[in-house]
Amino acid sequence: IAGITQAPTSQILAAGRRMTLRCTQDMRHNAMYWYRQDLGLGLRLIHYSNTAGTTGKGEVPDGYSVSRANTDDFPLTLASAVPSQTSVYFCASSGTSGATDTQYFGPGTRLTVL
Amino acid sequence: AQSVSQHNHHVILSEAASLELGCNYSYGGTVNLFWYVQYPGQHLQLLLKYFSGDPLVKGIKGFEAEFIKSKFSFNLRKPSVQWSDTAEYFCAVDTGGGNKLTFGTGTQLKVEL
């Protein structure tokens, strides 16, 4: 059982470059989420998707975009990376978007923007 | 917007010591509360959650947490910690439904032998 996979594991990126972080889940979960984790700030929600074909903005959406073409994949794109986007990015999923559903997290992608 | 405060950023305990990690949130309405844990090199995973009913909830590995509405708190406890409890612990709150969580800044727990 893979659960949630994220790619790449880590990446160093020049400022201004475009980057897509990949997230795939094999649990047939409807809801998916992207968080960033920064020292001293905890995890903050970037974007979410309650079901395939829909997306929404979280707490810190600026500079990021997402798409949800199917149930399994939820890529996060940085159109033009900036150093403040240096962070660890976690993808998560839950069976539904209901508050009772546990979120399952991927292993994270460590991104450094220089 | 709601916020979640974890006042203990780093905690060091000896094995068998008791643990209590504080979590306070700022929202006056109905809340759903969570504790997540991230062991070294592992994914973030759920320890326990509270939605309604008994305010004392029990989770995995002997952890429990108590929801005190009047204090806006959801503190995590364990009577006797083990070296394997070394991890980072995050409190999280959902206030608006839709499972969009607001996380605290985390508490790094180190348990020494």
Nearest C-alpha in A relative to B37 = A105
Helix (H) or strand (E) holding B56: strand B56-58
Query: How do residues A33-87 score in pLDDT, each as one tens digit?
Result: 999 999 888 899 999 999 999 999 998 999 999 999 999 999 999 999 999 999 9
Please check whether residue A106 touches B, CB under 8 A: yes
Write out the two tokens for B80. Answer: 């006797």
Distance from CA of A46 to the nearest CA of B (A): 10
What are the residues whose beta carbons fall under 8 Å from the beta carbon of B60, sequence distance 6 or more?
A: B47, B48
Distance from CA of A53 to the nearest CA of B (A): 16
For residues B50 and B88, what is the distance between their CA atoms, to the nearest angstrom?
20
Query: How do residues B38-70 score in pLDDT, each as one tens digit?
Result: 999 888 999 999 988 999 999 999 999 999 999
Residue B63: strand pairing partners: none
For residues A52 and A60, what is the distance between their CA atoms, to the nearest angstrom?
21
Please check whether residue A101 touches B, CB under 8 A: yes
Inter-chain contacts counted by CB atoms under 8 A, chains A and B: 61
The answer, yes or no, to whether residue A23 has pLDDT greater than 90, is yes
- Smallest Cβ distance to B100: which of A40, A42, A48? A48
Distance from CA of B103 to the nearest CA of A (A): 6
Strands of A64-66's sheet, edge to edge?
A4-7, A19-25, A76-78, A64-66
DSSP state of A103: P
Phi, psi (degrees; rounded to nearest 5) at A56:
-150, 160
pLDDT by position in tens, chain B (length 113): 678 999 889 999 999 999 999 999 998 788 899 999 999 988 899 999 998 899 999 999 999 999 999 999 999 999 999 999 999 999 999 876 667 888 999 999 999 99
